[in-house]
């Protein structure tokens, strides 16, 4: 068991080395079947009308192909089916229900076809899904979606969290870039600005709860928006883009003392999360596993953060199964407490937030601790924090609130550990 765990850890480290040696070297390595680990990464691009999804998909494809990756693009299933003459306004309630159910089944089959191809690809492979299953669920009444899940034995942890590695919401130009919103030249787009805003909010809300959800808003020009989208994918994969992409998005963290008013809290998803740190060859390296879920359904993640490269700590996250999780858990570092959180995920003011409430049993420094986190390009007071939360102060970059530091048992030398800490951990 120990040998298997070490081999798994070694494989992840090799992935990390491949992803951070530069673009040319990565391209060469990805063509070398003997050394390739066949990285498969599945991304959903979603968003309201006129958000840049189509252009973004093409640019994302070109970028990863330039790194030597194979890229597959799963088409938008709804567009394919609707182009066959279907009009929702002409369908009865039952017909609309069955059409949406078959749309999701068709989407699953189309995506699975590309996923299978990716799994046998002799290169690192990126699969871009033009919308995903939760987009289709957004257009169903709550009771219909519940019935459909029951009829098909579906659950949202599998359809939303486990099926895709990352979800990127490209905010409609109708929200913050109104002068650029247009329906001209688009055969299926006819929404007014108000309708576009509503559709954008509906699709955004459908994905709340996904563990790696990035919202790309209109705070920059369109070129900057596309660059931020590509950079979001690279950051999650641990690819060092150097100066090739220009982005200043960073995590900001706030200390919260309570929720002022739950009645105005936006739609949200709640999860239970457990973090455990693992033994590593060097104290300069962090490794941890995470178990995250709701209603008895779970996702598992293995994260390794390597020592600083070019003044940045490089991180790789990979989804694992329950068996690998249990094997790795045997390598838990007992110099650290296990961390238990209740995580509330929500969208507010075009930003995706995590509200983490630390649960018992917890380390002494976590008693009653509540932290709010988001990724943003906004600096200082330009970022508006939720007014239904009681924010005490911003603690971005404060090592006291690094989860790694919070988990350290008192007998461990904190001074030595602080030198290797990157407070961006989640």
Hey, is 402 helix, strand or coil? coil
Place of tokens 């961390």: 339
Q: Which residue has the tokens 């917890």?
A: 362
Q: Are residues 223 and 338 in the same domain?
A: no
Q: What pLDDT was estimated at residue 9?
A: 43
Tell me, yes or no, whether 260 and 232 share the same domain: no
d(CA 75, CA 60): 15
pLDDT tens track for 232-259: 999 888 887 655 665 566 889 999 999 9
Domain boundary among 215, 237, 259: 237
Q: Are 375 and 261 contained in the same domain?
A: yes
- In the chain, the N- to C-terminal Cα span, in Å, equals 28
Task: List strand residue ranges (DSSP E) for 205-283, in order.
Answer: 213-216, 250-259, 268-277
Is residue 16, in this structure, part of any structural domain at all? no
Q: What is the pLDDT of residue 223?
A: 83
Q: Is residue 11 part of a domain?
A: no
CA 309 to chain centre: 23
Shared domain for 170 and 26, answered yes or no, is yes
Collapsed DSSP state (helix, strand, coil) of residue 386 = coil
Establish if 8 belongs to a structural domain.
no
End residue of a domain, out of 237, 261, 281: 237
Q: Which residue has the tokens 């178990």?
A: 291
Domain match, 209 and 327 both = no
Distance CA(332)–CA(259), nearest Å, equals 34
Among 187, 216, 237, which residue terminates a domain?
237
pLDDT at 247: 54
Instruction: Judge if 230 and 259 occupy the same domain.
Output: no
Q: Are residues 203 and 284 in the same domain?
A: no
Give how many domains the chain has, as a whole number.
Answer: 2
Answer yes or no: do 291 and 412 share one domain: yes
| pLDDT tens readout for residues 403-420 | 999 999 875 544 444 444
**Do residues 191 and 264 share a domain?**
no
Query: What are the angstrom distances between the C-alpha of 362 and each of 175, 181, 302, 401, 423?
Result: 41, 49, 21, 14, 19
Clarify whether residues 158 and 302 are in a common domain.
no
Query: How is 286-297 classified by DSSP, letter by letter?
Result: EEEEEEEEETTE
pLDDT at 314: 59
Check which CATH number belongs to the domain holding 156 and give it: 3.40.50.300
In a domain, 426, yes or no: no
DSSP code of residue 339? E
384: exposed, middle or buried (C-beta count within 10 Å: 0-12, 13-18, 19+)? Answer: exposed
Is 10 a member of any domain?
no
Q: Tokens for 280, please give them.
A: 């590593």
pTM for this entry: 0.70
Q: What is the pLDDT of residue 245?
A: 65
CATH code of the domain containing 355: 2.40.320.10
Contacts (Cβ under 8 Å, ≥6 apart) of 19: 26, 39, 237, 238, 239, 240, 314, 316
Confirm whether 227 is domain-assigned.
yes
Both tokens of 420, joined, read: 């290797």
| Per-residue pLDDT tens over the stretch 121-131 | 988 999 999 99
Question: Both 34 and 171 in a single domain?
Answer: yes
336: which DSSP letter? B
Q: Give the structural domain span for 145.
A: 21-237
Q: Is residue 9 part of a domain?
A: no
Other C-beta atoms within 10 Å of 44: how many? 26
- Same domain for 30 and 133, yes or no, is yes
Residues of the chain with pLDDT under 50: 1-36, 185, 309-310, 413-424, 426
pLDDT in tens, 361-384: 888 889 899 999 998 878 899 999
How many residues in the chain?
A: 426
196, 177 Cβ separation under 8 angstroms:
no
């Amino acid at each position: 068991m120990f040998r298997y765990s070490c081999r798994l850890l070694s494989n992840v480290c090799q992935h990390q080395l491949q992803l951070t040696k530069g673009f040319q070297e990565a391209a060469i390595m990805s063509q070398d079947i003997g050394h390739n680990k066949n990285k498969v990464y599945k991304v959903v691009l979603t968003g309201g009308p006129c958000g840049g999804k189509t252009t973004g998909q093409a640019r994302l494809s070109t970028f990863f192909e330039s790194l030597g990756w194979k890229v597959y693009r799963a088409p938008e299933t709804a567009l394919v089916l609707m182009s066959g003459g279907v009009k929702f306004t002409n369908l009865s309630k039952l017909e609309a229900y069955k059409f949406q159910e078959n749309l999701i089944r068709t989407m699953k089959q189309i995506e699975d076809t590309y996923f299978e191809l990716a799994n046998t690809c002799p290169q690192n492979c990126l699969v871009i899904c033009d919308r995903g299953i939760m987009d289709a669920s957004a257009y169903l009444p709550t009771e219909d979606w519940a019935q459909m899940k029951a009829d098909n034995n579906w659950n949202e942890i599998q359809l939303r969290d486990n099926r895709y590695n990352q979800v990127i919401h490209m905010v409609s130009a109708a929200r913050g870039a109104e002068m650029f919103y247009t329906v001209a030249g688009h055969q299926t787009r006819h929404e007014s600005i108000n309708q576009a805003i509503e559709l954008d909010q509906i699709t955004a809300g459908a994905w709340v709860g996904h563990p790696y959800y990035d919202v790309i808003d209109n705070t920059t020009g369109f070129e900057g928006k596309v660059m931020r989208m590509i950079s979001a994918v690279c950051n999650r994969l641990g690819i060092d883009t150097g100066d090739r992409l220009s982005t200043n998005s960073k995590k900001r963290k706030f200390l919260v003392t309570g929720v002022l008013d739950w009645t105005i809290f936006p739609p949200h998803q709640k999860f239970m999360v457990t973090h455990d740190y693992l033994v590593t060859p060097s104290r300069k390296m962090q490794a941890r596993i995470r178990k995250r879920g709701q209603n008895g359904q779970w996702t598992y993640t293995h994260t390794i953060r390597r020592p600083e490269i070019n003044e940045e700590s490089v991180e790789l996250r990979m989804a694992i199964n329950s068996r690998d999780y249990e094997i790795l858990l045997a390598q838990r570092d007992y110099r650290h407490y296990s961390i238990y959180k209740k995580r509330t995920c929500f969208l507010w003011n075009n930003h995706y937030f995590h509200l983490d409430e630390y649960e018992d049993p917890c380390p002494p420094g976590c008693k009653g601790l509540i932290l709010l986190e988001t990724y943003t390009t906004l600096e200082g007071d330009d970022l508006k924090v939720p007014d239904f939360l009681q924010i005490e102060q911003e603690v971005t970059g404060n090592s006291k609130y690094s989860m790694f530091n919070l988990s350290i048992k008192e007998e461990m030398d904190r001074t030595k550990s602080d030198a290797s800490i990157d407070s961006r951990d989640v």
